[in-house]
Amino acid sequence: MNLIVQKYGGTSIGSVERVQTVAQRIHKIAQKGNKVVVVVSAMGKTTDTLVKLASEITSSPCRREMDMLLSTGEQVSIALMSIALQELGQPAISLTGAQVGIITEAEHSRARILSINPHRIQRHLDRGEVVVVAGFQGISDGTDLEITTLGRGGSDTSAVAIAASLKANCCEIYTDVPGILTTDPRLVPDAQLINEITCDEMLELASLGAKVLHPRAVELARNYGIPLVVRSSWSDTPGTRVISPTPKPRYIDKLELTKSVDGINFDSDQAKIALLRVPNSPGVAARIFGEIASQQLDVDLIIQSIHENNSNDIAFTVSKNVLNKAEAIVEAIAPALRNSPTNNDEAEVLIEKGAAKIAIVGAGMIGRPGIAAKMFKTLADAQVNIEMIATSEVKVSCVISPNNSNRAIDALSKAFDVQLSETPIASNLVQVSPHVRGVALDTKQVQIALLSVQDCPGMAAKIFGTLADKNISVDTIIQSQRCRIINGMPTSDIVFTVSQEDLQAVHTSLDILSGSFTEVITDIEIAKVSIVGAGMLGQPGIAAKYFGALAEQGINIKMIATSEIKISCVVAKAEGIKALKAVHKAFELTEQETSKISVL
């Protein structure tokens, strides 16, 4: 007898008829002898409607009252679903988050789950009842028993957390699309179904705009090794399997509060090349990385950001043994960039022969802005200067001088209580995977540039620590390679993106820091287009193909940020969908073949 947790999203239960159709599906599964726990969201657009009601009263409602309001949506669904099941002759009972004992932090509107009491659910299952649980909500620990919610889209997380606490055989997420697709089918109609995807890839995609799964649900599935499937509510097609590496043993009583950092990766075999003051016009990145790819050289991290006089800096790392070749290519291109009509400055090539990359890894850092800040602070306290920063959802990498390696490793191991681990996350899986698994568009971000930030150890820690204190998650941090002397002090620029929702809070925080930089430039007209795939690791030419696809459409790149398994480009918002379509096509995702992942 299998124990299955099924989650049905708002789109799947948008009307009473749909509730009845879903009830029939659940009834069939239960009749086959399975124990079934059903997690439901609010019907259709109910949550949005409730948000709108509050916004008619005030633009800044109290988060506690919003939780009280929004949690009602799921309560309607559980009762109707249970009634529909009972009407089919299927014994069923509806339970709220509090009744099931979903205990969370007291952090309204974004609470993390601490524990779930499995006994009540178990008791009803043993009586042959289907248990229908309200997703998205919980109750705070302590004496006040406050109703909390997990954050928009959080029912996925409720479902996986329940599956983990019940040690269910699998967790199925039912939705209005056939599974996880190569991109959002609402934007690119010929997006294709992905049969299998690794948790690491899905974490990136979900955090970069693919809202089909709540990233924290993927984090839980990954940490506890829960077999997770995303499927259509309307058909019996198998959907997408989200594959976890073999999990490490963990305590179920701290569900979402497990250690945020699992390990430290280190690579001392790197070299860095920076091209300063290249023209800010379409095709420049495509040209540089096109030449590099034509020599079959693999590039690791790439960053690009715009600076004064409308010119760009591009920096990237390669493995030391190909530095000479890469340097020759860049030196050969530089004169042409210097003579470009749009370039007022001189393009300059900087080479650093020895560079080391140190990274902290762990799915628990998602949505915890303090982790990156803690890394920067730890390195600053150990007198380690950070030369380049690359962030992904599950990893923060810093390029440092190899002379500082031992100090950096020691300090980070102590600060995060972890060991140096040789293996990058992705190598836990044997893959025959496409280079790019999927692409995502995020139009809800803003780009913030801090100009002439004093360039001394501890500055990144100070800036991102202040933002973290306000619970602001920063994505895509870029520290410029260009140094300007102001009042005898070296300065450089720092550019990052944050969610639009946090813009006001960012400005308030930056006010506290004024004096540490000369100017703040905010660009809200941006779109972030990202390609994700564990198969791009060690594969030359992926970046070149991506930048080439944008150049062909005449799309200018405002910012580039990469991690090992993703490349994100910031472009003008008006060009976001065009860029998404171009990239989706360039990587032939419309013709994707079935790919299999097997766990070691």
Rule CB under 5 A: which residues touch Mg ion? 9, 153
Binding test (CB under 6 A) with ligand ADP, winner from 186, 235, 246, 339: 186
Shorter beta-carbon distance to ligand ASP: residue 134 or 451: 134
Q: What is the spatial distance between Cα 369 and Cα 358, in angstroms, rounded to a whole number? A: 19
Site for ligand ADP contains 438 (CB under 6 A): yes
Q: Least distance from C-beta 252 to Mg ion, angstroms?
A: 24
CB of 122 closer than 8 Å to CB of 157: no
The residue behind tokens 């991690």 is: 563
> Nearest 10 degrees: CA dihedral of 577, 579, 580, 582?
120
Residue 459 belongs to what H/E stretch? helix 459-469
Q: What is the spatial distance between Cα 173 and Cα 202, in angstroms, rounded to a whole number? A: 14
Shorter beta-carbon distance to ligand ASP: residue 155 or 392: 155
* Cβ-count burial 458-481 (b if 16+ within 10 Å, e if not): bbbbbbbbbbbeeebbbbbbbbbb
Choose from ligand ASP, Mg ion, ligand ADP, none: what does 135 bind? Cβ within 5-8 Å by kind.
ligand ASP
> How many other CB atoms are found less than 10 A from the CB of residue 389?
23
Q: What is the spatial distance between Cα 392 and Cα 420, in angstroms, rounded to a whole number? A: 19
Choose from ligand ADP, ligand ASP, Mg ion, none: what does 134 bind? Cβ within 5-8 Å by kind.
none
The residue behind tokens 């080391």 is: 356
Q: Phi and psi for 363 in degrees, rounded to 5?
A: -70, -20
Binding test (CB under 6 A) with ligand ASP, winner from 44, 118, 135, 438: 135
Site for ligand ASP contains 97 (CB under 6 A): no
Site for ligand ASP contains 77 (CB under 6 A): no
CA 64 → CA 107, 146, 154, 256, distances in Å? 9, 8, 17, 21
Choose from Mg ion, ligand ADP, ligand ASP, none: what does 136 bind? Cβ within 5-8 Å by kind.
ligand ASP
Shorter beta-carbon distance to ligand ASP: residue 96 or 265: 96
Task: State the binding string over 469-488 for ligand ADP (x if CB under 6 A, else -).
Answer: --------------------
Number of residues assigned to the chain: 600
From 183-191, 246-254, 346-354, 489-497, give the range in contact with ligand ADP by CB under 6 A.
183-191
Site for ligand ASP contains 138 (CB under 6 A): no
Q: How many residues bind ligand ADP, per CB under 6 A?
A: 19
CA 146 → CA 64, 98, 99, 142, 162, distances in Å? 8, 9, 13, 9, 20
Site for ligand ASP contains 73 (CB under 6 A): yes
Binding test (CB under 6 A) with ligand ASP, winner from 8, 136, 316, 517: 136
Helical packing angle, 370-381 and 405-416, nearest 10°:
130
Binding test (CB under 6 A) with ligand ASP, winner from 5, 13, 30, 42: 42
Sort strands 489-499 and 519-523 into parallel, antiparallel or unpaired.
unpaired
Shorter beta-carbon distance to ligand ADP: residue 174 or 416: 174
Site for ligand ASP contains 153 (CB under 6 A): yes
Site for ligand ASP contains 12 (CB under 6 A): no
Binding test (CB under 6 A) with ligand ASP, winner from 71, 94, 155, 280: 155
For the record, the structure tokens of 253 come out as: 């009583």
Shorter beta-carbon distance to ligand ADP: residue 71 or 183: 183
Shorter beta-carbon distance to Mg ion: residue 152 or 287: 152
> How many other CB atoms are found less than 10 A from the CB of residue 552?
13
Q: What residues are paired with 273 via a beta bridge?
A: 316, 351
Burial (0-12, 13-18, 19+ Cβ within 10 Å), 413? middle
Choose from ligand ASP, Mg ion, ligand ADP, none: what does 12 bind? Cβ within 5-8 Å by kind.
ligand ADP
Q: Least distance from C-beta 371 to ligand ADP, angstroms?
A: 26
* Single-letter amino acid, residue 251: Y
From 85-93, 107-115, 151-159, 324-332, give the range in contact with ligand ASP by CB under 6 A.
151-159
Shorter beta-carbon distance to ligand ADP: residue 162 or 390: 162
Q: What is the spatial distance between Cα 564 and Cα 547, in angstroms, rounded to a whole number? A: 17
From 134-142, 206-214, 248-256, 309-317, give the range in contact with ligand ADP by CB under 6 A.
206-214
Shorter beta-carbon distance to ligand ASP: residue 135 or 364: 135
Written as one string, the DSSP assignment of 350-372 is EEEEEEEEEEEE-GGGTT-THHH
Residue 529 belongs to what H/E stretch? strand 526-532
Q: Least distance from C-beta 217 to ligand ASP, angstroms?
A: 9
Q: What is the spatial distance between Cα 333 and Cα 188, in angstroms, rounded to a whole number? A: 35
The residue behind tokens 């299999």 is: 596
Shorter beta-carbon distance to ligand ASP: residue 75 or 413: 75
CB of 530 closer than 8 Å to CB of 583: no
Choose from ligand ASP, ligand ADP, Mg ion, none: what does 25 bind? Cβ within 5-8 Å by kind.
none
Site for ligand ADP contains 9 (CB under 6 A): yes
Site for ligand ADP contains 210 (CB under 6 A): yes
Shorter beta-carbon distance to ligand ADP: residue 146 or 204: 204
Choose from ligand ASP, ligand ADP, Mg ion, none: what does 186 bind? Cβ within 5-8 Å by kind.
ligand ADP
Q: What is the spatial distance between Cα 209 and Cα 197, in angstroms, rounded to a whole number? A: 16
From 9-17, 73-81, 286-294, 443-451, give the range in contact with ligand ADP by CB under 6 A.
9-17
Q: Least distance from C-beta 41 to ligand ASP, angstroms?
A: 3
Q: Phi and psi for 472 in degrees, rounded to 5?
A: -95, 120
Q: What is the spatial distance between Cα 366 and Cα 374, in angstroms, rounded to a whole number? A: 14
Choose from ligand ASP, ligand ADP, Mg ion, none: what does 118 bind? Cβ within 5-8 Å by kind.
none
> How many other CB atoms are found less than 10 A from the CB of residue 108?
19
Chain residues that interact with ligand ASP, rule: CB under 6 A? 9-10, 41-42, 47, 73, 135-136, 152-155
Chain residues that interact with ligand ADP, rule: CB under 6 A? 9-12, 41, 153, 175-177, 180-181, 183-186, 210-212, 438
